[in-house]
C-alpha cells in the first residue's frame, strides 16, 4: 500500500502521521513543540521524526513522500520555509534538508494553505472548484480556491485576511500597525485582547487570567454569553459580526459557491449560528452551497493537509 507521511507543525504542538491516498489516517503521534524561531523548529522536527521512525515506524514500505505544514511564509515550489516573524528572515531549505536526511521526497507548505489542500482533495473540493476556506483559531487566515487552483500571490502571502478591517470598531491596535483588524476582534487571540480592553466598560463574571501569556478561555466566554453576561455578549457579537463581514467581503472578491470554515473558534456552534445570522442574504445569494463547517476532523485537518502536500495535490 502506498502511504504518505504528514507533519503538522503548529506553534505548540507537532503531529506526525501516516496517511493513505484516501485520507485515512493509519498511524500518528503527538509531540510538543513550543519554538521561537525556525532553527529551533527545525531541530524539533528532526528529533520528533527520529523518534517517530524508531517508536512508531512505517505501516509497510517507506512512505512515498512526506509533507510538512508550517506557520509563516512558505515557498512550496522551492521547498523553502521563508519566515515566521515579519521582522526577521531566516530562510531554511527545509524540504531538501529533510529529503537528504531521511531519503524520502519532501514537500512543504503553509499550514492554512495545507488545510485548504485537504479541503480541496477530501472535503468541499469534491463538489466545488470555487471555494473559500476560513480558519478561525488562535489567528485568522484564509485559503482561496479559484477554478480549482489555490491563490498564492507574488510572495506566497495571499490569504492573510485576518488583517482586513471589517467595520467592528473597538480601538485595538494590531501587530500589523492598523486598528481593529478582524483577527484582533474574532480570533482566540483577539477575543482575549478585546476582553482586556473592554472589561471595565461592561459588567462581567469572566475570569481574565493575569499570568504572562495566559489567555481568556473562549468556551467560558461562550457559556457566560449564553447566561446573559454583558461583556461576553459584546465579545461574541463583535466576533460573529466581524467574521460575517469578512465572509461577505471575500465573497465579493472571488464569487465562491461555497464558504467552508474551520478552526477552534468557529467549530463552536453557538458562535457559528451567530455568524450565519449576521450574513446579508442578498450578498450571499450566489454562495449556492452556503457557509458550512468543515467535515474534516478538526483535530487532524493539519495532518491531512500535510499529507495532501506530500501527495502534491
Ligand atoms: Zn492587522
204 CA distance to ligand 1 centroid (A)?
27
Residues 104 and 148 in one domain: no
Examine the pLDDT at 294 and tell me if it is beyond 90: yes
Residues 135 and 99 in one domain: no
Q: Note down the domain range covering 252.
A: 124-293
Residues 192 and 288 in one domain: yes
Residues 150 and 91 in one domain: no
Residues 305 and 275 in one domain: no
Predicted pLDDT at 12:
79
Predicted pLDDT at 264:
83
Residues 184 and 216 in one domain: yes
Examine the pLDDT at 176 and tell me if it is beyond 80: yes
Residues 152 and 252 in one domain: yes
What CATH number does residue 32 fall under? 3.30.420.40
Question: How many domains does the chain contain in total?
Answer: 2
Residues 235 and 86 in one domain: no
Torsion over CA: 36, 40, 42, 44 (sign): negative
Q: What band does 170 get if pLDDT is binned at 50, 70 and 90?
A: very high
163 CA distance to ligand 1 centroid (A)?
4
193 CA distance to ligand 1 centroid (A)?
13
Residues 141 and 281 in one domain: yes
Examine the pLDDT at 48 and tell me if it is beyond 90: yes
State how far Cα 136 lies from the chain centre.
Answer: 7
Q: What is the mean pLDDT of residues 169-173?
A: 97
Alpha-carbon span 4 to 200, nearest angstrom: 52
Residues 105 and 146 in one domain: no
Q: What band does 212 get if pLDDT is binned at 50, 70 and 90?
A: confident
pLDDT, tens only, 75-105: 999 999 999 887 777 899 999 999 999 999 9
178 CA distance to ligand 1 centroid (A)?
5
In sequence order, which residues have a C-beta less than 8 Å from that of residue 191 and are 6 or more positions away? 185, 216, 218, 221, 235, 239, 265
Residues 256 and 113 in one domain: no
21 CA distance to ligand 1 centroid (A)?
37
The residue written with cell numbers 509531540 in the block is 31
pLDDT, tens only, 214-268: 999 999 999 999 999 999 999 999 999 999 999 999 999 999 999 999 988 888 8
Residue pair 301/116 in contact (Cβ under 8 Å)? The answer is: no
Residue pair 67/106 in contact (Cβ under 8 Å)? The answer is: yes
172 CA distance to ligand 1 centroid (A)?
10
Amino acid at each position: 500500500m502506498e502511504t504518505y507521511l504528514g507533519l503538522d507543525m503548529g506553534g505548540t504542538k507537532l503531529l506526525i502521521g501516516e496517511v493513505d491516498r484516501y485520507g485515512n489516517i493509519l498511524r500518528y503521534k503527538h509531540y510538543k513543540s513550543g519554538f521561537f524561531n525556525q532553527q529551533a523548529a527545525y531541530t524539533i522536527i528532526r528529533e520528533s521524526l527520529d523518534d517517530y521512525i524508531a517508536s512508531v515506524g512505517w505501516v509497510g514500505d517507506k512512505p512515498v513522500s512526506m509533507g510538512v505544514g508550517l506557520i509563516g511564509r512558505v515557498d512550496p515550489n522551492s521547498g523553502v520555509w521563508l519566515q515566521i516573524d515579519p521582522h526577521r528572515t531566516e530562510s531554511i531549505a527545509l524540504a531538501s534538508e529533510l529529503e537528504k536526511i531521511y531519503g524520502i521526497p519532501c514537500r512543504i507548505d503553509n499550514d492554512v494553505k495545507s488545510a485548504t489542500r485537504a479541503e480541496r482533495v477530501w472535503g468541499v473540493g469534491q463538489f466545488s472548484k470555487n471555494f473559500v476556506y476560513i480558519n478561525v483559531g488562535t489567528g485568522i487566515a484564509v485559503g482561496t480556491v479559484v477554478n480549482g487552483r489555490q491563490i498564492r500571490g507574488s510572495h506566497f502571502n495571499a490569504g492573510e485576511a485576518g488583517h482586513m478591517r471589517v467595520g467592528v470598531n473597538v480601538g485595538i491596535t494590531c501587530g500589523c500597525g492598523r486598528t481593529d483588524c478582524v483577527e484582533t476582534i474574532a480570533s482566540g487571540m483577539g477575543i482575549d485582547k478585546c476582553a482586556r480592553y473592554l472589561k471595565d466598560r461592561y459588567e462581567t463574571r469572566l475570569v481574565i487570567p493575569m499570568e504572562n501569556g495566559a489567555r481568556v478561555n473562549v468556551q467560558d466566554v461562550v457559556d457566560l454569553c449564553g447566561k446573559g453576561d454583558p461583556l461576553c455578549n459584546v465579545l461574541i457579537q463583535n466576533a460573529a459580526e466581524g467574521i460575517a463581514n469578512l465572509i461577505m467581503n471575500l465573497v465579493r472578491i472571488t464569487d465562491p459557491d461555497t464558504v467552508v470554515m474551520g478552526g477552534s473558534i468557529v467549530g463552536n456552534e453557538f458562535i457559528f449560528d451567530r455568524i450565519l445570522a449576521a450574513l446579508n442574504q442578498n450578498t450571499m445569494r450566489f454562495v449556492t452551497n452556503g457557509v458550512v463547517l468543515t467535515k474534516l476532523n478538526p483535530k487532524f485537518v493539519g495532518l491531512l493537509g500535510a499529507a495532501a502536500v506530500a501527495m502534491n495535490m
